[in-house]
């Protein structure tokens, strides 16, 4: 059996402010920092250890990985970063308050932008300051790879090469793997691994800072899946 742990980053400042985030590189909130440490603490208490970590190039996810590993005294393991694990690129919605957007466009439209795997949010243009082509960390990406907007199905397509070429070989060589990423990039991975329908993935909401354990067979079919909670302390007597 192969075991994989997925961890959504701790709460970010824009999660707290209820804003569409996408590739905006916002930091963790105080609560997010606490959640990231707590995740490591819970993993340690359950006896987990990792050989390698994979994360995105966004600081809320990088810092979550770092704090989680620190709480486990595993800061020494290799951690590989890839833009392919980034959050879904939310186009022109990035930065907007979700409640204001609902007031302007209606609940149904906003829900489609957020959860319909094929619905594209309004795109930005390359002269927009939010265009990733202006950011040094994406300078090796081709024009086709630089998004102007992205739906969940496109997020799966760009995350998949990293899954098959990097994460799967690590799992197959029996390394213990921690993937720290984002609400939608993790939903994309789980949809692929679990063969979830569009309706099922629309219902999937992975909470921040809570380790999700996937047990897989040798063909990478899911056998079991559960969130790790703090172990219950034995009561007095
Ligand atoms: O804003 C975002 O980038 C994501 C994750 O926080 O939001 P949503 O859950 O609406 O897809």
Q: Could you report the per-residue pLDDT of 141-195, keeping only the tens digit for each?
A: 999 999 999 999 999 999 999 999 999 999 999 999 999 999 999 999 999 999 9
The pLDDT value recorded for residue 4 is 97
Domain that holds residue 137: 7-47+56-147+174-185+199-227
Catalytic residue, candidates 38, 66, 87, 150:
87
pLDDT over threshold 60, residue 214: yes
Of ligand 1's listed atoms, the one at least distance from the Cα of 182 is: 5
Residue 1 resides in a domain: no
Predicted confidence at residue 230, as pLDDT, reads: 86
**Residue 231's pLDDT band (cuts 50, 70, 90):** confident
- To test ligand 1's pocket by mutation, which of 90, 93, 102, 116 has the most ligand atoms within 8 angstroms of CB? 90
When comparing pLDDT for 194 and 233, which is higher? 194
How many structural domains comprise the chain?
1
Tens of pLDDT along 23-35? 999 999 999 999 9
Distance, in Å, from the CA atom of 99 to the CA atom of 23, rounded to the nearest integer, reads 20
- The confidence score (pLDDT) of residue 48 equals 98
Instruction: Please indicate if the annotation marks 182 as binding a ligand.
Output: no
Residues 101-112 have a mean pLDDT of 97
Examine the pLDDT at 237 and tell me if it is beyond 80: no
How many Å apart are CA 4 and CA 225, to the nearest integer? 10
Q: What percent of the chain has pLDDT over 70?
A: 98
In a domain? residue 233: no
Residues with Cβ within 8 Å of 195's Cβ and at least 6 positions away in sequence, in order, are none
How much is the average pLDDT of 115-120?
95
Q: How far is the CA of 124 from the centre of ligand 1 (A)?
A: 17
12-16, 64-68, 89-93, 215-219 — which is least confidently predicted?
A: 215-219
Task: State yes or no: 18 annotated in a binding site.
Answer: no
Ligand 1 mean position to 161 CA, how many Å?
23
Q: What integer pLDDT is reported at residue 232 of this predicted model?
A: 79
In a domain, 166, yes or no: no
Q: How close are the terminal C-alpha atoms of the chain, in Å?
A: 37
Using CB distances shorter than 6 Å, the residues near ligand 1 are 15, 20-22, 87, 90, 114, 183-184
For the ranges 132-146, 179-193, 195-209, 221-235, the lowest mean pLDDT is seen at: 221-235
- Angle of the 107-115 helix axis to the 98-105 helix axis, nearest 10: 120
Is the pLDDT assigned to residue 199 strictly greater than 60? Answer: yes
Active-site option among 9, 38, 66, 182: 9
Q: Is 44 annotated as a binding residue?
A: no
In the residue annotation, 215 being an active-site residue is answered as no
H or E segment and range at residue 7:
strand 2-8
Residue 115 assigned to a binding site: yes
Does residue 9 have an active-site annotation? yes
Three-class SS state of 115: helix
Question: What is the C-alpha separation between 127 and 105, in angstroms, rounded?
Answer: 25
pTM for the model = 0.95
CA of 183 to the centre of ligand 1 (A): 7
Over residues 48-87, the pLDDT tens digits come to 999 999 999 999 999 999 999 999 999 999 999 999 999 9
| CATH classification of the domain holding 38 | 3.40.50.1240
Read off the pLDDT band of 233 (50, 70, 90).
Answer: low
CA nearest ligand 1 atom 7, residue: 20
């Amino acid at each position: 059996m192969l075991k994989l742990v997925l961890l959504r980053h701790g709460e970010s400042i824009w999660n707290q402010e209820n804003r569409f985030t996408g590739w905006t590189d916002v930091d963790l909130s105080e609560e997010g920092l606490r959640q990231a440490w707590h995740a490591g603490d819970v993993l340690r208490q359950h006896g987990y250890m990792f050989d390698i970590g994979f994360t995105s190039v966004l600081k809320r996810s990088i810092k979550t990985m770092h704090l989680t590993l620190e709480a486990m005294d595993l800061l020494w393991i290799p951690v590989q970063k890839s833009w392919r694990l980034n959050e879904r690129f939310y186009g022109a919605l990035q930065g907007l308050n979700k409640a204001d957007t609902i007031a302007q466009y209606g609940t149904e439209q906003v829900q489609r932008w957020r959860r319909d795997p094929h619905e594209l949010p309004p795109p930005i243009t390359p002269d927009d300051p939010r265009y990733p082509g202006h950011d040094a960390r994406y300078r090796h990406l081709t024009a086709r790879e630089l998004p102007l907007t992205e739906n969940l199905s496109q997020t799966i397509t760009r995350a998949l090469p990293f899954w098959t070429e990097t994460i799967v070989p690590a799992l197959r060589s029996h390394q213990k793997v921690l993937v720290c990423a984002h609400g939608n990039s993790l939903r994309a991975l789980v949809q692929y691994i679990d063969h979830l329908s569009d309706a099922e993935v629309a219902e999937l909401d992975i909470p921040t800072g809570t380790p999700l354990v996937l047990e897989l067979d040798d063909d990478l079919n899911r056998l079991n899946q559960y969130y790790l909670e703090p172990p219950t302390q034995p009561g007095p007597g």
